[in-house]
C-alpha cells in the first residue's frame, strides 16, 4: 500500500477551457503542504478534483486506493474538503452542524464515540460557548471555525482546506493552524492548505506546492520554494526573502512589476 495521497497526470477544464494541465503530486501522512499561487492558478479546482467534487482526467489515490472506483460515501469518508466560502446559514445550531458532519455513513444512529468526538473538537477550537447558537447568528470568522470543526470531526485520511483562515483575525489564524498542524501529526493525516499568505504558509507548512496557470511551477520545503525568482515568475512582484528565527523563510514584497516585465514561468509539470 502506498502511504498518503498520490495524484497523477490530473487534467481538468471548464467548458473546454483547460484549467489543470498534467498536475501530479505526492503528499505524505503527517505533513502539511501549502498549495500556493496567484488567483486563477487552479488551486481550488485542484482541491475539488482531489475531493471528487469535480471529475478530472487522471488518477487520485489515497493510501493506494484509486478513488475513481469508490462510491461518493467512501470518498467522503477518506477525504474532507473545507471550501473557501463559509458554511451556509442553515437552521442548525453549531452543535447540530458538527454532529451532522460526523454522520457520513448510511446510518444516522448517534453513538457515544460520535458525541465524544464532537465535544472534543469543540473544546479544542473553543466553540463550547457557541454550541446552542444558530449558524445564521454567527460572524464570518465563527462560521469558519465551525467549518474547520466539521472537516476534522469526520477523522478523514486526507484534509483539504481552501483558505481556512480567510475570515479569521491573526490570533484565530494562529490557533486554527496550530491545531490543524497538531492534528495532522497526531492522526497521520495528509493535509493540503490552499493559502495566499506566504509568510503564514511558511510558518506552518512542511512543504510547498507552487501552482501557476494550472501547472506545477515548483515544489519543496518553504525555504526551497520561496525564492525571489519564483515570486517574480509566478506573482509578478519584486521581493526580498530572508530567514527568521528557527530558519523560517519570510517574504518582503517590494513592488509589483510591470506586466511586460513578468516572464512565463518555467514549470516542472510534476511534483513528487
Cα-based distances in Å from 167 to 164, 221, 246 = 8, 26, 28
pLDDT in tens, 108-125: 678 888 999 999 999 988
Instruction: Give me the phi and psi of 93, to 5 degrees please.
Output: -80, 165
> Where residue 239 falls among pLDDT bands split at 50, 70, 90?
very high
Domains and CATH numbers, the chain: 5-84+156-261 (3.40.50.300)
Q: What is the pLDDT of residue 222?
A: 94
- What is the distance between the alpha carbons of residues 121 and 149, in angstroms, rounded to a whole number? 6
pLDDT in tens, 202-230: 999 999 999 999 999 999 999 999 999 99
Q: What is the pLDDT of residue 272?
A: 31
> Where residue 139 falls among pLDDT bands split at 50, 70, 90?
confident
Do 150 and 158 touch, CB atoms closer than 8 A? no
Query: Is residue 7 predicted with pLDDT exceeding 60?
Result: yes
Cell of 198: 506566504
Quote the mean pLDDT of the chain.
88
Q: What is the pLDDT of residue 270?
A: 37
Q: What is the pLDDT of residue 258?
A: 87
Pairing of strands 190-194, 158-162: parallel
Query: Is residue 260 predicted with pLDDT exceeding 80?
Result: no
Do 131 and 122 touch, CB atoms closer than 8 A? yes
Residues 6+ apart with CB under 8 A from 45: 12, 19, 20, 54
Do 205 and 197 touch, CB atoms closer than 8 A? no
Nearest alpha-carbon partner for 5 in 156, 129, 150, 140 = 156
- Provide mean pLDDT across the span 227-246: 92
pTM: 0.89
> Where residue 200 falls among pLDDT bands split at 50, 70, 90?
very high
Amino acid at each position: 500500500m502506498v502511504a498518503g495521497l498520490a495524484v497523477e497526470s490530473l487534467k481538468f477544464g471548464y467548458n473546454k477551457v483547460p484549467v489543470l494541465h498534467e498536475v501530479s503530486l505526492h503528499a505524505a501522512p503527517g505533513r502539511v503542504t501549502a498549495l500556493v499561487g496567484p488567483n486563477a492558478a487552479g488551486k481550488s479546482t485542484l482541491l475539488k478534483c482531489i475531493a471528487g467534487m469535480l471529475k478530472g482526467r487522471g488518477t487520485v489515490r489515497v493510501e493506494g486506493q484509486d478513488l475513481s472506483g469508490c462510491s461518493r460515501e467512501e470518498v467522503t469518508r477518506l477525504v474532507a474538503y473545507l471550501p473557501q466560502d463559509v458554511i451556509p446559514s442553515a437552521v442548525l445550531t453549531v452543535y447540530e452542524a458538527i454532529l451532522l458532519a460526523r454522520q457520513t455513513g448510511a446510518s444516522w444512529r448517534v453513538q457515544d464515540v460520535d458525541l465524544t468526538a464532537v465535544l472534543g473538537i469543540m473544546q479544542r477550537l473553543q466553540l463550547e460557548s457557541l454550541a446552542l447558537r444558530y449558524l445564521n447568528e454567527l460572524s464570518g470568522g465563527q462560521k469558519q471555525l465551525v467549518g474547520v470543526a466539521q472537516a476534522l470531526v469526520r477523522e478523514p485520511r486526507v484534509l483539504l482546506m481552501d483558505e481556512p483562515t480567510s475570515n479569521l483575525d491573526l490570533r484565530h489564524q494562529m490557533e486554527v493552524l496550530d491545531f490543524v498542524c497538531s492534528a495532522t501529526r497526531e492522526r497521520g493525516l495528509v493535509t493540503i492548505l490552499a493559502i495566499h499568505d506566504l509568510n503564514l504558509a511558511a510558518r506552518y507548512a512542511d512543504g510547498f506546492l507552487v501552482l501557476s496557470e494550472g501547472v506545477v511551477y515548483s515544489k519543496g520545503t518553504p525555504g526551497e520554494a520561496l525564492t525571489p525568482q519564483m515570486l517574480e515568475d509566478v506573482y509578478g512582484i519584486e521581493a526580498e526573502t530572508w530567514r527568521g528565527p528557527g530558519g523560517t523563510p519570510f517574504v518582503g514584497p517590494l513592488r509589483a512589476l510591470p506586466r511586460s516585465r513578468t516572464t512565463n514561468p518555467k514549470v516542472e509539470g510534476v511534483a513528487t
